[in-house]
Amino acid sequence: MTVDRPPSQQELPRAQAFAEKAFSALEHFIHIEAVSGIVLLAAAGIALLWANSPAADSYHALWHAPLSVGIGPYLLSQSLHFWVNDALMTIFFLVVGMEIRREIHEGALANLRLAALPMAAALGGVIAPALLYLAMNAEMPERRGWAIPTATDIAFAVGVLALLGKAIPGNVRVFLLALAIIDDIVAVMIIAVAFSAGLDYSGLLVAGAGILMVLGLQWIGVGSAYAYVIPGAILWWGMLKTGAHPTLAGVVLGMMTPVLRTRERPMDALTQALNDLRARARGPAPQAEHLAAPLRQLRQAQREVLPPVTRVQMALHPWVAYLIMPLFALANAGVSLDGVDLGMGSAQGVLLGVAVALIVGKPLGIVSVSWCAVRLGWCKLPPGVTWGGVCLIGLLAGIGFTMSIFIATLGFSDANLLGAAKLGVLLASAVAAVSGLTWGFIYARRPGSETEKRAGETRATIAD
């Protein structure tokens, strides 16, 4: 007599089993940080080729095409370029805000002792490039680009670091992440202060209403991320009306995302819901409506296992890494080489200022300020991080890319200066990536005993 196995134990059809394996491999693939950096680089390359090809007119026509969003008479009509830079990038900044929130709660920024050295390094990595740029471009309007070389592209820098493999100590990656996150905090502050128009206080009322709606939903325990879309859109609209850059709404929402679970013991609720589902499913003829309640409880309990800030960030990561950031690169990296006249005005000074500030100013500021902070006894090098590792971090921090191009679009209204600034960012990011990889391979091939010896000597010097 043949005994039917439960559905969970039956073999899956071959096509379904193959599809599950393929999707599992794809899910693993998209979480490899180096891959997202390669996709970002490919999008920038496509934009450059497109903008300098015979089809260049179609490139510019696409991003200037109008797109209207709204209901009835309440329409916001803007170019596709606006919707990418000012709307979709809000989601990017939402993830940035959540990363900052997590690091402050339990990461590298959780206490002053852990955060002191990355903060000092980031401070040097912001001030030195800005001063170097201003030394080369002291007059207006080119002076407005001073903030462009202050930023670091987290995804690209960490992606390049991932290409070096496990030979690089884990604390080097943590140091780079902490520094890049602090860089993002500074970049957000710069955008809020230096690149926002005069405030329209009626917009603050709209933004405040969006914040109150978010707080109200959190107060009554609403955990679904979809419920916060409308309050988030109201906050974004309010920020746009104030004259501040609307992407700052993403940072505000990210910083407001809870870092604690809504339930103290979510696994108990998950087990109870699962047991209830099993008990009802084992009946002689389980009805779908009888299974609906435990299934709903199971989904809710499953959602509450992870803190909201972790759950939402994990859900958004693939969309940001593989759609939003490549779209941003595609929309902004398409600089027509024929359209940038380096002999006109101060375009050449802007290009060189941005490139030199990122390639030279970033590592110079990061390494020198870190060295001073350690020598003065204010900070200590993390275990396993030598000065060679700090130099590697400094070189990779010169990859400005996404954030630098974003700030360039805010700093320059002149098309020629903007094109020169973008070319400077692209050139510097390429040089920084190659320099970082080259030094990283040299650093990784050093004998482990020598690395540990240097780390021990550094700690002994600090102790003395």
* 401 shares a domain with 271: no
**422, part of any domain:** yes
Provide the residue range defining the domain that includes 425.
36-50+112-188+335-464
**Nearest Cα residue to 295 out of 312, 311, 280, 315:** 280
* Residue 168 buriedness (CB in 10 A; 0-12 / 13-18 / 19+): buried
* 276 shares a domain with 183: no
* 275 shares a domain with 345: no
**Nearest Cα residue to 154 out of 181, 174, 130, 132:** 181
- Report the CATH number at residue 166: 1.20.1530.10
User: Would you say 123 and 111 are in contact if contact means Cβ atoms under 8 Å apart?
Assistant: no
* 369 shares a domain with 433: yes
Helical ranges in 150-200 per DSSP H = 154-162, 170-194
pLDDT means over runs of 10, the chain (464 residues): 48 57 50 68 85 86 84 77 85 82 72 77 90 87 84 76 74 79 78 68 85 89 82 88 79 83 61 64 61 62 70 83 85 74 74 91 91 84 81 88 82 82 87 88 66 44 42
Cα separations in angstroms, 77 against 63, 73, 80, 81, 156: 13, 11, 9, 12, 32
* 352 shares a domain with 289: no
* 41 shares a domain with 183: yes
| Distant-in-sequence, close-in-space partners of 256: CB < 8 Å, separation ≥ 6 | 211, 214, 215, 218
Evaluate the CA torsion angle 248, 253, 254, 256 in order and state its sign: positive
pTM over 0.85? The answer is no
Total domains present in the chain = 2
Phi, psi of 131 (to 5 degrees): -65, -40
**170, part of any domain:** yes
pLDDT at site 461: 43
Distance of CA 17 to the CA centre of its chain: 34
User: How far apart are alpha carbons 234 and 227 in whole angstroms?
Assistant: 13
User: Would you say 117 and 363 are in contact if contact means Cβ atoms under 8 Å apart?
Assistant: no
Total Cβ atoms within 10 A of residue 129: 34
User: How far apart are alpha carbons 86 and 84 in whole angstroms?
Assistant: 6
User: How far apart are alpha carbons 88 and 63 in whole angstroms?
Assistant: 14
**377, part of any domain:** yes
CA angle 376, 377, 381 (to 5 degrees): 110
Distance of CA 198 to the CA centre of its chain: 28
User: Would you say 231 and 218 are in contact if contact means Cβ atoms under 8 Å apart?
Assistant: no
pLDDT at site 452: 44
Distance of CA 31 to the CA centre of its chain: 14
Q: How many angstroms separate the first and last alpha carbons of the chain?
A: 81
* 344 shares a domain with 271: no
